[in-house]
Amino acid sequence: MKKIFIIILPLFLSGFLFSQKKPQKKPVKKGIVTKMNYHDEFKKISDEIMTNGTAYENLGELTKGVGSRFSATPGYMKAVEWAEKKFKDAGIEMIWRQEVKVPVWIRGKESLQIKASNGDWKNIKMLSFGNSEGTGGKDLTAEIVLINTTSELNALSVGQLKDKIVFVNLPMDPKIINTSDSYLITAKSKLISASVIAKTGAKALIIRSLTTATDDTPHAKMVYYEPEDKVKIPALSIGVRSADELEKLLKKQKVTAKLNMSAESKGDTTNPNIIAEIQGKKDSKVIVLGAQLDSWDFAEGAHDDGTGVVQCIEVLRTLKALGIENNHTIRVVLYANSENGGQGRDMYAAYVKKRDEKHIFALGTDAGGYSPRGFSLDMSPQRRRLIFDWKSYFLPYGIYDFDQTDAIQDISPLKKLDIPLAEMVVDTQRYFDYHHSVEDTYDKVSKRELLLGAVAMTQMIFMIDKNW
């Protein structure tokens, strides 16, 4: 019995002792990545921006401190210096300027008066089209002719518009719920083309402002003259109320206009795009965000596009504040000369092509600082499907619309380089009340809506960086 006990006891004790040892951890195999909880990451981004975001205060500095920042003016260069400081404040080290050739156009003094058959001259609020020819500072006096449709224009015989001032009272279509679509459809009408109207022998073009507002504030527009134009006529816009009153007056009697515009072009100069980036930890592929830095010469440009500028800066600030290590380079481009030319965006696209930089995604924002609703995706169906899979992460933040496919013009030149494009979609029902007018001011922007837009943009950039 002793022998048996002696043999069993060591075996028993050895089993007992071995059982007290902590189990050995299996070594983690290289290449296995822990799955990220995107809901948690989205909340971290949202919490940071909604509590510590600086976009609204920055917008106040840009609109009230810098003010109007039209291309080729001291105001634009003041905005450039401001933007560089804001990037530095956000902790960005890579900041540089990209010089762009831009037109020098000076609005000068401008006035419009009308007079009915037996009446006195009456002043009408007006705005010259950007880059429009002027009247040389002299009065241009002529009869006004009303045209509402292209069929009316085509029905007029040769000579009926010669030496006249053509008035086009073409409103944005209220039946089109997407106001951006309504604006673009109206803006593309040949009726409001100075080149088309000039071919009729007319002396000037007056249009109803492209706006959803019902006040008498005129809204600016860019003029495009064709290279073959022998004559470049002055073009201007008037407010909605004035347009409606003028149409009623013209249906009853002859109306004469006296137009005086000292607007003139003075060649070209250079203004810079401002570029800032956080370099990628994994590779040098680029994710780019774009917004226009310039505004019209008379405007604060709060919604157009001060909100986009400060939201782009906020994206970089947030990534830095949260210590997020980005795989790819995340870059912001603030474009010069978007309002009266578009040379800034063309220059950046040419730069990307020349350097053969690999861009995997471009996100634009130029629809105002209103509540975000989704993202317009101008890219291949395969890429769109990848983003569709992320809908559940965005939905708690009110982001649901991923069905639109149009991209804004500031990033549109990148489409020729096969770069997937996206634009933040917002509720634009009020955007064209203020667009391109003196009413586009800081007080029209909601801090909460502005920050929510920055949240959505940062979340999208985060997902692209981690998954593409």
Mark whether 295 and 411 lie in a shared domain: yes
Mark whether 461 and 316 lie in a shared domain: yes
Domain of residue 146, CATH code: 3.50.30.30
Q: How far apart are CA 446 and CA 110, in angstroms?
A: 33
In sequence order, the 6+-apart residues with CB closer than 8 A to the CB of 463 are 38, 387, 390, 393
Mark whether 61 and 208 lie in a shared domain: no
- Average pLDDT, integer, range 15-23: 42
Residue 302 C-beta-side C-alpha neighbours within 13 Å: 26
| Residue that finishes a domain, picked among 262, 286, 321 | 262
Q: pLDDT digit string (tens) for 46-88?
A: 999 999 999 999 999 999 999 999 999 999 999 999 999 999 9
The type of residue at 4 is I
Domains in the chain, number:
2
Q: How far apart are CA 348 and CA 208, in angstroms?
A: 34
Q: Is residue 151 part of a domain?
A: yes
Closest CA to 97 of 357, 343, 356, 334: 334
Q: Does the pLDDT at position 12 exceed 90? A: no
Domain of residue 442, CATH code: 3.40.630.10
Q: Is residue 410 part of a domain?
A: yes
- Average pLDDT, integer, range 387-416: 93
| Residue that finishes a domain, picked among 247, 262, 277 | 262
Mark whether 91 and 136 lie in a shared domain: no
Mark whether 253 and 359 lie in a shared domain: no
Q: How confident is the model at residue 34 (pLDDT cuts 50, 70, 90)?
A: low
pLDDT attached to residue 406 = 82
Mark whether 289 and 337 lie in a shared domain: yes
- For 187, the domain range is 108-262
- Top-confidence residue, 433 or 18: 433
Tokens of 143: 């009869």
Q: Is residue 149 part of a domain?
A: yes
Q: Is residue 16 part of a domain?
A: no
Q: Distance between terminal CA atoms of the chain?
A: 73
Q: How far apart are CA 437 and CA 300, in angstroms?
A: 9
pLDDT attached to residue 118 = 80
Q: Is residue 134 part of a domain?
A: yes
Mark whether 57 and 93 lie in a shared domain: yes
Q: Does the pLDDT at position 108 exceed 90? A: yes
In sequence order, the 6+-apart residues with CB closer than 8 A to the CB of 382 are none
DSSP 229: -
Mark whether 132 and 67 lie in a shared domain: no
Mark whether 308 and 289 lie in a shared domain: yes
* C-alpha distances in Å from residue 334, one per residue of 7, 43, 87, 121, 311: 83, 27, 11, 44, 11
C-beta contacts of 404-409 below 8 A and 24+ residues apart: 404/374, 404/376, 404/377, 405/376, 405/377, 405/378, 406/376, 406/378, 407/362, 407/364, 407/376, 407/378, 408/364, 408/365, 408/366, 408/367, 409/338, 409/342, 409/345, 409/366
Q: Is residue 273 part of a domain?
A: yes
Tokens of 308: 């986009």
User: Do the Cβ atoms of 257 and 165 come closer than 8 Å?
Assistant: yes
Q: How confident is the model at residue 4 (pLDDT cuts 50, 70, 90)?
A: very low
Q: Is residue 204 part of a domain?
A: yes
3-state secondary structure 247-290: HHHHCCCCEEEEEEECCEEEEEEEEEEEEEEECCCCCCCEEEEE
Q: pLDDT digit string (tens) for 297-350?
A: 999 999 999 999 999 999 999 999 999 999 999 999 999 999 999 999 999 999
Mark whether 344 and 442 lie in a shared domain: yes
In sequence order, the 6+-apart residues with CB closer than 8 A to the CB of 211 are 172, 217, 219, 240, 432, 433, 435, 437
Q: How far apart are CA 463 and CA 144, in angstroms?
A: 56
3-state secondary structure 134-150: CCCCCCEEEEEEEECCH
Mark whether 298 and 247 lie in a shared domain: no
Q: pLDDT digit string (tens) for 132-161?
A: 999 999 999 999 999 999 889 888 877 889
The neighbour count for residue 241, using CB atoms within 10 Å, is 14
pLDDT attached to residue 53 = 98
Mark whether 283 and 159 lie in a shared domain: no
Q: How confident is the model at residue 1 (pLDDT cuts 50, 70, 90)?
A: very low
Q: Is residue 56 part of a domain?
A: yes
Q: Does the pLDDT at position 280 exceed 60? A: yes
Tokens of 461: 């950039």
* C-alpha distances in Å from residue 29, one per residue of 10, 36, 96, 390, 467: 37, 18, 42, 28, 21
User: Do the Cβ atoms of 204 and 165 come closer than 8 Å?
Assistant: yes
What is 330-369 written as a DSSP string? EEEEEESSTTTT-HHHHHHHHHHHHHT--EEEEEE--S-S
Q: Residue 296: what are its φ and ψ, rounded to 5°?
A: -70, 160
In sequence order, the 6+-apart residues with CB closer than 8 A to the CB of 340 are 70, 71, 103, 105, 130, 131, 222
| Residue that finishes a domain, picked among 233, 262, 291 | 262
* pTM: predicted TM-score of the whole model, two decimal places: 0.90
